Amino acid sequence: MIDSKLPNFRAMSPAQRLTHVAQAAGLDDAEHALLAKPGALPLDTANGMIENVVGTFELPMAVAGYFQLNGRDVLVPMAVEEPSIVAAASYMAKLAREAGGFRTSSTGPLMRAQVQVVGVSDPYGARLAILKHRDELIEMANARDKVLIGLGGGCRDIEVHVFPDTPRGAMVVAHLIVDVRDAMGANTVNTMAETVAGRIEEITGGKVRLRILSNLADLRLARAQVRYSAATLQTKAYSGEDVIAGVVDAYLFAAIDPYRAATHNKGIMNGIDPVIVATGNDWRAVEAGAHAYASRGGRYTSLTTWEVANNGDLVGTIEMPMPVGLVGGATKTHPLARLALKIMNVSSAQELGEIAVAVGLAQNMGALRALSTEGIQRGHMALHARNIALAAGASGADIDWVVKKMVAARNVSVDYGMSLLQGPRDE
């Protein structure tokens, strides 16, 4: 059984951390070696993934610890360039363990394919005509993917939306609702949409234009909940009750103000995107769905909620689209994406989505806690100082020395780092 606690992880060398994770996740020698060396993505493989390949590009890959979901410990690989993200998520996950960690759930893996019909003078009549042929169209769509049907998936239903008055006249849009199982589903639903397009033209007398999935995957939701007591959140400078009040006030700011909500939700995606990238999934699709979902009420708002329970505990929740997969695309072709999934020990796309939103919720809590107490810069800049030291020209043992000096002086800047390197090495 995996133990996600990572005590003293920051003090270890990268090699020591990798050995610890490899043992915890049950990686074999070849997998350990693959993570240990740069350039784990072979150029030939990269050349087959996209066009015009000239090389590969690497990001730091870390593992967030202490996550516990529904009673199960999970190690979470994250690929990201920004400091403080992994540390903040891990710390909030550590605090969450005192109340049982994260509780997660999700809906089925349903995706939408849209078929746009133009050139109809009776759009509502066209809608009913499509619905009359619902069973026929579903059968046509499912005939194109026998493998998916064999796995228990397939087209489940058809919705039809009418836009009676556009600058180009009436428009009818049919939605194929498809259970894509453990795939992200783009190729599957796009193929199904193209399969039924001709028949929809015959049924409606109109012209089909677009046949494409929707990234607003509002039928494929992942949810997470977490609880923190006042005693857990207490610090030397702030009572737990003050921290809770500050977090709730910060959340409400995002709930009412789209300018704040944009930054608030970016912080949530700071946690989610690195998980999506590490597993070879489409982070652009997840981002698009997240921000569209945050606007579903007609106004852009927070993806999370933070409330105070009857006993005074802080309770956070998140619910958002999570169109991710375990099969197809880079998830299967990128060697490190496959290893990331093994480290997480996930068995379904729904489980992966639940892990991702739990990390997003933890990251959000970390940001709100910092913002409402000491400010975001103190902790963030201390971690960011290593990047600044490198930019200033520090290397080897000088890195830690420059970081220590910049943090002590509260001057984390390239200019100050360069001046330190040019001066005496006093301690």
Helix (H) or strand (E) holding 114: strand 110-118
Q: Which residues have C-beta within 8 Å of that of residue 380, sequence separation ≥ 6? A: 83, 84, 370
CA dihedral 197→202→206→208, nearest 10 degrees, is 10
**Known active-site residue 82:** yes
Which residue among 5, 32, 82, 194 is the active-site one? 82
Residues 4, 68 contacting (CB under 8 angstroms) = yes
Residues 77, 352 contacting (CB under 8 angstroms) = no
Nearest Cα neighbor of 110 from 406, 367, 350, 360 is: 350
* Long-range Cβ contacts of 47-55 (<8 Å, 24+ apart): 48/333, 49/330, 49/333, 49/334
d(CA 412, CA 403) in angstroms, rounded, equals: 8
Residue given tokens 């912080």 in the structure block: 267
Which residue among 98, 266, 374, 400 is the active-site one? 266
CA distances from 319 to 221, 255, 290, 294, 314 (A): 6, 14, 10, 10, 17
**Known active-site residue 266:** yes
Residue given tokens 């379904």 in the structure block: 348
Which residue among 282, 313, 319, 354 is the active-site one? 282
For the chain, give percent helix, strand, coil, nearest 5. Answer: 50, 20, 30
CA distances from 80 to 77, 86, 298, 365, 402 (A): 10, 9, 32, 19, 23
Helix (H) or strand (E) holding 75: strand 72-79
Which residue among 175, 380, 384, 405 is the active-site one? 380
Q: How many helices (H) and strands (E) does the chain have?
A: 18, 10
DSSP string, 164-192: EEETTEEEEEEEEEEE-TTB--HHHHHHH
**Known active-site residue 58:** no
Active site residues: 82, 266, 282, 380
